Amino acid sequence: MEEITNQKNLSSESSPGSDAVNEQTMTMEELEKEMSGEFHTIRNGAIVTGTVIRIDPNGIFVDVGYKTDGAIPADECGDDAIKALKEGDKIRVFVKRMDDGNGQISLSVKRAKEFDSWDTLQKAFKNKTAVEGKIVERIKGGYDVDVGGVRVFLPQSQLSHGRNGKDSIGKSFPMLVTECDRRRKNVVVSERSVVETERSKKRDEIFASYKVGELIKGVVSRIVEYGCFVDLGGGVEGLIHRNDLSWSVIGNPREIVQPGQEIEAKILKIDQEKGKIGLGLKQKRDDPWETVDQRYEVNRRYEGKVKNLMDFGAFVELEEGVEGLVHISDLSWARNIRHPGDVVKSGEKLCVVVKEIDKSKKRISLSYKDTLAHPWDGIEARYHVGDVVKGKVNNMTEFGAFIEIEEGIEGLLHVSDIDWVKKVNHPKDVLEKGQEVSVKVMSIDSKARRLSLGLKQTTVDPWEVLDSTFKVGDVVTGAVKNLVSYGAFVQLVNGLEGLLHISEFSWQNDVKDPSEVLKVGDQVTVVIYELDKSKQKIGLSLRRINDDPWKGIEKKFSTNSVQTGKVVSVDSNGVEVEVASGIQGFVHISQIAQDRVQHPGEILKVGDTVTFKILELDRKNRKLKLSIKEATMDSAARELQKYQRESSTGFSDTIGDLMRDKLQAFRDKLSN
């Protein structure tokens, strides 16, 4: 046999991607054909087809038509395809060494496969056809992919959208060779290009096969906030907007569809330029609002399902796409419903009455309470005038409070019926919203649905038992509740209030402003001097606790009598002198001394003890008019009379001497 002369010598370790192999001018098929025959002259680096003649734990032995057999080592026999070999099978191998040291040819299946793979990659790159690649592992910037034993690179951006890279490891996909350099062993592939090509082809088929308004089947591939995407085949997706999923108002597309669900939708829009397909699910049936007035009538009952709860009411679905609102005021006959959830629950089936239908605005007004018995029906059998019942304060206004005695039954507690004694300006001064109170039924008007209640009527009117509670002359203690310009109101037992008039503060009537003496909250002890049940009046006195110091004053302080007292105040007109406890007199500036005085303060000061003569007693104004000057003159006259009496017994002082000495002594006293 002739030796192949046009094949260059290849080293025993040269790879299929080496320069030596790259310079071959013969293809593998030509090489095999050239080497066919009973025996071949083969060299290192050649790829030949042999026949399996024996399989044992040491490897696989192959007849390659040479004078000696070849051996595939055991470490290359782990592949499933190699494990399936049996004696007589044909196999392509790569000649690694002509003599492995044991007189046999060293063969490699992997190198042969790799060599073939490079040919496949080059052809695929040239012809722009796809190859099958297995994603091996994640590496920087992309993935390591095995294509028939050749490791190639798949950039991250070239993995199709929607495919999870982590889940794709270990799986095989068709890929397009975008770069191929056998000498540098550099191959880049794109799985995304294959998908997009197939997707574009499928999209063109859909565009050619379907028109707007036709139905098309697909599988829900993914759900987003604004709708869902439907896989129409070949990776082509159509979008169903959330508003096109159902005639009903939905919050989440998952209420209608789920990933992986097979559906049939109507084509709403085809945009060939942008490659987009708009789908609709609800359009498969007519808008239910178009004929809603044919299926529902006002004042009739229907069953629905609570779909959504809002602060202002509950939305009830009567059928798919038709929802009505039960306003919170129509959920219950009670007025104190804080939230619809207090009455109904989401998902609950509910019987409702249609109140109003607005077809143009797609609105239906519903009522739940109208399906229930009205609580006012038969009220006169359950309640009677005079009954004391318990209720809860629902609402308050300036004129009173509304008390709920049972669900849907409210009565008015007027502000005038809250307290017997206290003047209530607003119910909130006494009551709190939600408070439970006992009230008396005052009147019932079932036709007008009005109920009058009383709070104070549940207790005894303290004015009715006034005579048994107090007597004139009783000394009582109370708290100052209010101060006015004319006195103070004092709260006594049973909540009754009495008036402590400003004139009853002091016998002297010297209090000009009650706040100078008392403040709100003070405890005071007073005497009752007046009780008037018909006028609901109690007169209190602070001064009458003690006797009137002016009582019998004519006997104690007669006119023209000379007395002594203490100066309590000094002003430009004169001085006030305390004659006794609770009794004061006034000395005018002209009555202070015989000599003219410019200002009383020049002679007198607060705390001085003075001798005075009572000139006049003014009982009406409870004042005494006093004179220090006349008391002094009277004293001088008495001294003169004394002197005259004593002069007859031998005293030699003249009258002038005595008068002079007496006046000087008085001046000295005043000046001190």
Degrees (nearest 5) of the Cα angle 551, 553, 559?
A: 160
Length of the chain, please? 672
pLDDT of amino acid 657: 62
pLDDT of amino acid 287: 87
Top pLDDT among 103 and 199 is at: 199
**In which band, very low, low, confident or very high, does the pLDDT at 23 lie, cut at 50, 70 and 90?**
very low
CB 388 within 8 A of CB 458: yes
CB 572 within 8 A of CB 586: no
With 0-12 CB in 10 A as exposed, 13-18 as middle and 19+ as buried, what is 487? buried
**In which band, very low, low, confident or very high, does the pLDDT at 83 lie, cut at 50, 70 and 90?**
low
pLDDT of amino acid 2: 32
pLDDT of amino acid 351: 94
Ramachandran category for residue 46: left, alpha or beta (phi over 0 → left; psi -120 to 50 → alpha): beta
> What's 620's DSSP letter?
T
End-to-end CA distance of the chain: 168
pLDDT of amino acid 325: 94
With 0-12 CB in 10 A as exposed, 13-18 as middle and 19+ as buried, what is 119? middle
Interval 258-272: pLDDT, tens: 999 999 999 999 888
Within the chain, what is the greatest distance between any pair of CA atoms?
202
Distance between CA atoms of 355 and 369, rounded to whole angstroms? 11
Cα Rg of the chain (Å, integer)? 61
pLDDT of amino acid 220: 93
Span 636-665, mean pLDDT? 62
Partners of 143 in beta bridges: 138, 154
Whether residue 26 is predicted with pLDDT greater than 60 in this model: the reply is no
CB 14 within 8 A of CB 45: yes
Degrees (nearest 5) of the Cα angle 36, 39, 40?
A: 65
The dihedral over CA atoms of 165, 169, 171, 175, expressed in degrees to the nearest 10, equals: 60
Report residue 614 as tokens.
């009572």
What are the φ and ψ backbone dihedral angles of 116, each rounded to 5 degrees?
-65, -40
Nearest one of 302, 318, 309 to 344, comparing CA atoms: 309
Span 47-67, mean pLDDT? 77
Distance between CA atoms of 299 and 356, rounded to whole angstroms? 8
Q: What is the number of H-type helices and E-type strands within the chain?
A: 12, 35
What mean pLDDT, rounded, does the chain reach? Answer: 82
Interval 445-475: pLDDT, tens: 888 889 999 998 888 888 888 888 889 888 9
Report residue 205 as tokens.
């088929």
Distance between CA atoms of 461 and 469, rounded to whole angstroms? 12
b/e sequence 421-457, b meaning 16+ C-beta within 10 Å:
eeebeebeebbeeeeebebbbbebeeeeeebbbbbbb
Partners of 548 in beta bridges: none
Which domains, from first to last, does the chain contain? 19-115 (2.40.50.140), 128-195 (2.40.50.140), 210-284 (2.40.50.140), 297-371 (2.40.50.140), 379-458 (2.40.50.140), 466-545 (2.40.50.140), 553-647 (2.40.50.140)
Whether residue 118 is predicted with pLDDT greater than 90 in this model: the reply is no
Nearest one of 513, 498, 585, 500 to 543, comparing CA atoms: 500
Span 391-411, mean pLDDT? 90
pLDDT of amino acid 124: 87
Q: Is 590 helix (H, G, I), strand (E, B) or coil?
A: helix
Span 72-90, mean pLDDT? 69
Whether residue 535 is predicted with pLDDT greater than 80 in this model: the reply is yes
Span 305-314, mean pLDDT? 92
Interval 542-557: pLDDT, tens: 888 877 777 767 777 7
Report residue 250 as tokens.
């939905």
User: Residue 327: what residue type?
Assistant: H
Distance between CA atoms of 494 and 479, rounded to whole angstroms? 13
Greatest mean pLDDT among 44-48, 370-374, 449-453, 647-651 lies in 449-453
Question: Given CA atoms 449, 455, 458, 464 in this order, what sign does their dihedral have?
Answer: negative
Whether residue 421 is predicted with pLDDT greater than 90 in this model: the reply is no
Partners of 409 in beta bridges: 406
pLDDT of amino acid 669: 60
Whether residue 409 is predicted with pLDDT greater than 50 in this model: the reply is yes
Distance between CA atoms of 296 and 316, rounded to whole angstroms? 14
CB 148 within 8 A of CB 110: no
